[in-house]
Amino acid sequence: MGLLAYGDTGWGDELFFATLMTIAVAAAAIFIGFFLAAIFASFKLSKSKTLNLIGSFYTTVFRGVPELLVIYLFFFGSSGAVMYVARIFGYDGYIEVNAFLTGALSIGIISGAYSTEVFRGAIQSINKGQFEASQVLGFKKKIYYYKIIIPQMLRLALPNISNVWQITLKDTSLISVTGLVEIMRMSYVAAGSTRDPLFFYSFAAVLYLFLTFLSLKLFNKLENHYSKGY
């Protein structure tokens, strides 16, 4: 167990922080994904054919191309793209998009493609009659969305959101290729340095199992909470 010692002699502290990084990047990614999903789900449900097409293009591409490729594309392309835009505005220096943001964005965009489908499905399943009822009751459109649609949508979507979260959490392991020090990257470095890959990759597997187990429990609790009254 010396390998996992906490401090400069072992990899315990490094792996601990790497686990926090995994959680942080997964959390950032899923929220970026929700944000994108809110936009693209409304595109997909809109009456405009163009918007439909944009929405479908997004979900098709990012659910159809390997995560690893998307990550590489962002990794190699993001700084270039940001600098290109900056140059238009007259700034000619180097701007680095750091590994955390690159990782969170690339995973977030993939996660968003899955969330879009979840949101769309959830909105469609809400009874149309409710909209009419709320109109009769004189609710404003905004209130209608915040008070009636969104809470219901969340409840219906929770099991699927739980799935998307699991996918997102596991996908973060792939951003290790960009150098962000999360669980997989740290295990990779430790395995290389100690020449004990079996131990460190198995330990990484245990850490991921722990995280997926924990989130499952959490989502079950949430589901129970929100299904009160049904």
Partner 1 sequence: MNIFKKTILTIFASLFLTVSVSADSIRIGTEGAYPPWNAKDESGKLIGFEVELANWLCIYMGKECTIVEQDWDGMIPGLIMRKYDAIMAGMSITDERMKTINFSQGYADEVAQLAVMKGSSLEGMDTPSGINLSLGGSDVKSALKTLTGALAGKTVCVQTATIHQNFLESGDVGSVSIRTYKTQDEVNLDLTAGRCDAALAAAVAFTDYAEKSGKDVVLVGPTFSGGAFGNGVGVGIRKDDTDLLKSFNKAIDTARKQGKISELAIKWFGFDASM
Partner 2 sequence: MIESLPRLLNATKVTIELTLLSLLFGIFVGVFFALLRTSKNRVFYFISYYYSYIFRGTPLLVQIFIIYFGLGQVEWIRESFLWILLKEPYSCAILAFTLNTGAYSSEIFRSAFETINKGVLEAAKGLGFNKLHIFFKIKLPIAIRQSLPAYGNEMILMLKGTSLASTVTLLDLTGVAKHIISTTFRPVEVFIVAGSIYLIMTFIIHNFIKYLEKKYSYE
Tallying the residues shown for the chain, one arrives at: 230
Sign of CA dihedral 116, 26, 221, 142: negative
- Kindly write out the interface string for residues 126-165 of this chain, putting x where it contacts partner 2 by CB under 8 A and - elsewhere: ----------------------------------------
Nearer to partner 1, 105 or 118 (CB): 105
Sole residue written with tokens 């009419």? 132
Q: What is the C-alpha R_g of the chain?
A: 21
**110, 36 in Cβ contact below 8 A?**
no
Among 77, 126, 181, 222, binds partner 2 (CB under 8 A): 77
Sole residue written with tokens 């969340």? 154
Nearer to partner 1, 10 or 121 (CB): 10
170 binds, among partner 2, partner 1, none (CB under 5 to 8 A by kind): partner 2
Among 6, 17, 35, 76, binds partner 2 (CB under 8 A): 76
Nearer to partner 1, 94 or 230 (CB): 94
CA gap 156, 108 in Å, rounded: 22
Among 39, 82, 150, 167, binds partner 1 (CB under 8 A): 82
174 scored as a contact of partner 2 (CB under 8 A): yes
79 scored as a contact of partner 1 (CB under 8 A): yes
CA distances from 63 to 43, 52, 73, 112, 132 (A): 17, 16, 15, 10, 35
Question: Terminus-to-terminus CA distance in the chain, angstroms?
Answer: 49
Sign of CA dihedral 88, 94, 95, 100: positive
Segment near partner 1 (CB under 8 A); pick from 78-86, 117-125, 157-165, 219-227: 78-86
Contact residues for partner 2, defined by CB under 8 A: 60-61, 63-70, 72-73, 76-77, 80, 166, 170-171, 173-174, 176, 184, 188, 191, 195-198, 201-202, 204-205, 208-209, 212-213
